[in-house]
Amino acid sequence: MISRILIANRGEIAVRIIRAAKELGLKTVLAHSKADRDSLAAKLADETVCIGPPPAVESYLFYQNIISAALATKSDAIHPGYGFLAENWQFADACRAMKIRFIGPKSSVIRNMGDKSKAKTLVKESGVPVVPGSDGEIDSLQKALEVVERVGFPVIIKASAGGGGKGMRIVCEKKDVEKSFNSAAYEAQQAFGDSRVYIEKYIAAPKHIEVQILGDKHGNVLHLFERDCSIQRRHQKLIEEAPSPIIDNETRMKMGEIASKAAQSVGYDSAGTIEFLYDIETRQFYFIEMNTRIQVEHPITECITGIDLIKYQIRIADGDKLDFSQDKLKITGHAIECRINAEDPEKEFNPSPGKISQLIVPGGPGIRIDSGVYPGYSIPPFYDSMVAKLIVWGADRREAVDRMKRALDEFYIEGIKTTIPFHKEVMRNRIFLSGQYTTDFVGKIQNQGV
């Protein structure tokens, strides 16, 4: 049985895991870099161990040090959080080789689903709808031209081994195929050490819908409904809500069933997410990828279902069966999450690291703050810029939006620039309020002032 968990992550997700573990009666060990020795997570963990200098490649990505730390502290399990090593199948394999429980899915699932083109092929074989495009990777310009001829413009060339906007190129004309193919492959090699790419039909302005999955080690797989993650900038999510304001119940259940089927087909046994593009004109949806980890935006699913996803991740890793069935899951109310980042929205969202001289967080009914900062804390420049996640719940979407407006007005951070003004603007925007926003929303309000 798991009794001591080492957290191989930082910031708000490290704090979140520590809290869940403590409520389960488990001891916690935080593996931290030198830059994070004074973090909130370090103050809350039962024990801490330094795993290297500030650069992630020498600490949070150096899994040999993390495994050594787990062995030295007699930790039974490692929770990788999200990012860093969360979707690294070699790390998962190394944990199991040293008889340390990896709190996540099997390494074979991480490997197969982490390869986007392979994942697409696997789920397609299970009858899951996918975006029209290439069957697997494209290894030559001639094959790229053949696919483009078949699916028609516009298309998007994507890196097989990663995401986050790296190794992506949108192509609208035949004359640009060669240049885009070569530059996408080059960028993919630089970002992921893997130049493989594949091609999909480009859906210009879809919704980005993801379905939360939970699977155990006994063959049970359930879905916990969807989240709408369409408000993005450079493929990075900024605001999420659950459920989606425009998905009807019939589509919701169909999407959930297909997501569960896709996860079951690969033997999924942890918390994960199946992501879709949803065309609001045709009302068709298509699989794009699976994330084999907990998502940043998992709290909004917790708010509408009452299910603690981190606790279930830990319990599943410990061999527990899911103790609820699909028909017992219901959506209650509406939840919205705003990612509060140390960025200046008036200067192209440039990072704004520095010392938080004053911090006043919102409170009251339906408000949740997931954060790893405190007054006097200095945000290091080495990692992502997230300060906090502001999560609100309301009996319906209107109450959730009104509550978010009130909470943003109460949120006060001094010493750094944050994205709070941007979120306030979105909460007043007519397109957002209509629920009809798509992935091009941020570009529209920045360039056209809609």
Choice among 293, 315, 368, 403 that is catalytic:
293
Query: Is residue 430 classed exposed, middle or buried when 0-12, 13-18 and 19+ CB atoms within 10 A define those classes?
Result: exposed
Tokens for 292, please give them: 């084999």
The answer to whether the CB of 321 falls within 8 A of the CB of 332 is no
Residue 16 bears catalytic tag: no
Rounded Cα distance, 132 and 337, in Å:
31
CA distance 172 to 324: 48
Number of C-beta neighbours around residue 327 at 10 A: 7
Radius of gyration from C-alpha coordinates of the chain: 21
Three-class secondary structure assignment of 227-241: EEEEEEECCEEEEEE
1, 2, 5: which is closest to 73 by C-alpha?
Answer: 5
Q: How far apart are CA 251 and CA 300, in angstroms?
A: 20
Hey, what's the torsion of the CAs at 366, 371, 377, 383, to 10 degrees? -150
Residue 47 tokens read as 């024990």
Active site members: 293
